[in-house]
Amino acid sequence: MQHCRRRGRGNTAHFCRKRFPETGGNEMKEYGIGEQQKAGIRSLRQIRAVLFDMDGVILDTEPTHIAGWHKALAAVGLQAEESVLIRIRGANAPRQKEVFLQHYGCGLDYERLRQLRRSYCEAEFQRNGIRPKPGYRELTAWLKERGIARGLCTSTEMEVVKRELPMAGLDYDFDAAVTGDEPKRGKPAPDVFLLGAEKLSVPPEHCLVLEDSPNGVEAGFAAGCRVIMIPDTVPATDALREKTVAVCSSLLDVRALMIEIQGHS
């Protein structure tokens, strides 16, 4: 049996694997990834918990957030720069403030900027709704069937989480949650995932982190978790790949990979 995805640019970067008859069909060989990733993929057999980021992984909200920062910065007479927006993606409010002040200067009114962005996003979500990312429902159902714990580990505040999940037709249904209200250090520090693992009583090495942002990948790797990146608005670089066990195009591919590794449908 063969499941291949072409490794390429941006969102075309995926995993590629093949089973071979000469090995009895039980050995999985990977191509285009290093030995660290091969060992990491095999370690998915020991996963006891999955830690989800929200924006860009569960909810298709990142393009609106990016547009919101562009609008907010323009409103205060500044131009958005992609390098800055990448640095804040996945980060909590204190980390975002730090990055913005470093780049635009201490005179920037970050709280006003943040409120302008939030007002834009809320209006867009009310007008157009929020879509769940493909495969979230299917992956969640499979994890429940397998008895694998599910944690939410997001830089978004709990108030926003509980407002936006229902807008996407999703229930707030996790075994534990860590939000932007809790950790002192946001991503790329590992705190959010370490706390998520602690709340689930699962060692970090038995947790799988699902992330779309460089900050999130860095945080999951620093926490000692296994990481799968599902690129959304930022492509997977070689440096990020080295900190993941796989790069998948969607949560549907994550589910397929987990099923193949764990040997059950």
53 is a catalytic site residue:
yes
Catalytic residue among 55, 212, 232, 253: 55
Euclidean distance between CA atoms 265 and 35, whole angstroms: 27
Euclidean distance between CA atoms 63 and 124, whole angstroms: 11
Q: Comparing C-alpha atoms, which of 47, 82, 21 is closest to residue 205?
A: 47
Average pLDDT, the chain: 87
Residue 55 DSSP label: B
pLDDT at 38: 66
**Between 40 and 213, the higher pLDDT residue:** 213
Q: Which two tokens stand for residue 162?
A: 């509980």
Q: Give 90-149 pLDDT, tens digit per residue.
A: 999 999 999 999 999 999 999 999 999 999 999 999 999 999 999 999 999 999 999 999
55 is a catalytic site residue:
yes
* pTM for the whole structure: 0.85
Catalytic residue among 53, 175, 212, 253: 53
- In the Cβ-directed half-sphere of 54, how many Cα atoms lie within 13 Å? 30
Tell me how many degrees the CA angle 68-71-72 measures, rounded to the nearest 5.
85
CA dihedral in degrees (113, 119, 125, 130; nearest 10)?
Answer: 40
Q: Which CATH class is domain 2-60+131-262?
A: alpha beta
Q: Give 62-104 pLDDT, tens digit per residue.
A: 999 999 999 999 999 999 999 999 999 999 999 999 999 999 9
List Cβ neighbours of 8 (8 Å cut-off, separation of 6 or more): none
